[in-house]
Amino acid sequence: MNDKISHDHQKVAFWKTTIIASLVFARKHPDHGPYFGNFEWRTTHNRMEARVRRYGIFAGIIASCFFTTAASSAPMTYGCDTPADRYSAIEQNVELKSFFIKTNIQPNEFRKGKYAPLAQIFLESMDEKSRWALQVVAPDHKSKTALVSLKMTVDGKTDEPFFIGYVNIGQRLPIAMSVTDGHKISFTIGELEGHPELKLGNQAKLNIICSTGDFVFSDLEWGSK
């Protein structure tokens, strides 16, 4: 497990520069709304369109900001508060015949460390060749904003992060995700919806993780639909 967390943090470092550039643009152009510099700088139009299809996302609503949602009674609250470069995790094997998970992720504090502050939810196949992951990552401990992205691993090959939008400290990011028959995925992240397919199998490993910061997973529940 420690190797996997380290690997994820190395991946985060790879695209940290793009995150910072996007946030600088957002601060200089507050009326522009969310900015996805990665799409303009590192992908062609055709490649972007292919990745949108791969992730099963409706392209027209990619640029979505995430705002505080109304409070409701929580089945479970996971207060994931970790020192710099340490992590906390919930790990469980789950059946994917008819699976769901939903929560709100709220970043409260980012800490200074070797690795970037991170919150993550992922499902990984038992053979570790397929993974669907949602990540909330801050570029550094001084930031008041984190970027939200999706990552998928298919046949052992991991895509670069697919940027979605921003979430600020103190804001809650609503998430709902389901898997049917081990491969049909549906998710809602803020106002963004997607329906990719990924061969996760009948059983997968569920991980809910945070590192180098204080994140709260509220209204957290998972199980069979």
**Number of domains making up the chain:** 1
Instruction: Check pLDDT > 60 for residue 28.
Output: no
Task: Give residue 53's pLDDT.
Answer: 52
> What sign has the CA pseudo-torsion 87, 155, 129, 126?
positive
Domain range for 213 is: 2-224
Q: Is the dihedral of CA 89, 95, 96, 102 positive or negative?
A: negative
Q: Tell me, what amino acid is at 212?
A: T
d(CA 147, CA 163): 7
Instruction: Convert the pLDDT of each residue in 201-215 to its tens digit.
Output: 999 999 999 999 999
pTM here is: 0.71
The helix (H) or strand (E) run that includes residue 135 is strand 131-137
CATH code assigned at 177: 2.60.120.200
The per-residue pLDDT for range 112-153, each reduced to its tens digit, is: 999 999 999 999 999 999 999 999 999 999 999 999 999 999
User: What are the φ and ψ backbone dihedral angles of 21, each rounded to 5 degrees?
Assistant: -60, -40
Q: Which pLDDT score is estimated for 32?
A: 37
54 confidence band (pLDDT: 50, 70, 90): low
Distance CA 154, CA 161 (A): 13
Strand partners, 189: 175, 192
Task: Output the average pLDDT for the chain.
Answer: 76
